[in-house]
Amino acid sequence: MGTYKRGRPPAEANRRAGRRREVRITNDLKNGIKGLFQNHEFYLCYQPILEVKSNKITAVEALVRWKHPELGMINPEEFISIAEKSLLIAPLGEWIMEEACRQMAAFHQGGWKVAVSVNISAVQLQQKDFSVRISHILKRYHLEPEFLVLEMTENALMEYNEIVDNNLRSLTMLGITMAIDDFGTGYNSFICLQNGLFDNIKIDKNFILHMSFSANRAIIASMIHLGHELNMKITAEGVEKEEHYNYLKGQGCDYIQGYYIGKPLPAEELWEDRKAGRIENRDCFAEEAIGNRYHR
């Protein structure tokens, strides 16, 4: 008790430290986000996505990481939330798109024709020239539109207006695949399916992680069935166990993503794993990945 009297209670000290950290991250983003790109503090990792039917990695998801020179690795959920509040998610999102497309073009030149999934924010969807920006990036790197998947959460689609609709329709006409991310966690899950603009449903990882509950298994099976009835492909993310994989495969899930398939890796490491034949060897890959998680 004497320690508490002489200093602040641990809970208060932790709150103050957390607030100082948030202010530091916010200031660093606001004062020079372009400098953070140039200094290579931001970088992308790519998590493999397995096509169940072919048993091949046919896509990867681009996940941003921030290695701060003083604070170390900053959790993506932490800095992305701050970027959204400060409206810096737009330049960050554009950098992610540019870098992901550049890297996929390099993979293609090396003989690996893999698609890339990129997460899109609500702020980007509200940009009148968003679809034009995407088109220019694809042309710059000579990347075919069918190798780009744009993922957006139901929450990002909450403010669905004419600008968003025009962007989605323009992107669809380009041949880009559109996916609803974290499906089943928002308020408008089924409304998102009505306009026919989406090609893929990504089942939220929380349903997968709690698959031991019969209710969750029933919900997952229903989502897969619903998606297929609407001619949509289904991706399950957060798959960490063989029993998860086997159940999803048995239900007809089209794509599997998670640590059972592979952890997110920088492009160079992913390329080396592919060359060494490790990229689709789940037995040797998953066990290592589970012990070295870094969730987005």
- Residue 115 resides in a domain: yes
Question: Model's pTM, two decimal places?
Answer: 0.85
Digit-coded pLDDT (tens) for 265-280: 999 999 999 988 887 6
- Residue 5 resides in a domain: no
Domain region containing 140: 42-290
Share of the chain above pLDDT 90, in %: 58
Number of domains in the chain: 1
- Give me the CATH number covering residue 199: 3.20.20.450
Digit-coded pLDDT (tens) for 67-90: 887 777 888 888 888 888 877 888
- Residue 124 resides in a domain: yes
The residue whose two tokens read 């323009």 is 170
- Residue 15 resides in a domain: no
Digit-coded pLDDT (tens) for 150-184: 999 888 888 889 999 999 999 999 999 999 998 87
- Residue 8 resides in a domain: no
Find all residues with CB under 8 Å of 49, minimum gap 6, and list them: 57, 58, 59, 60, 61, 117, 235, 255, 256, 257, 261
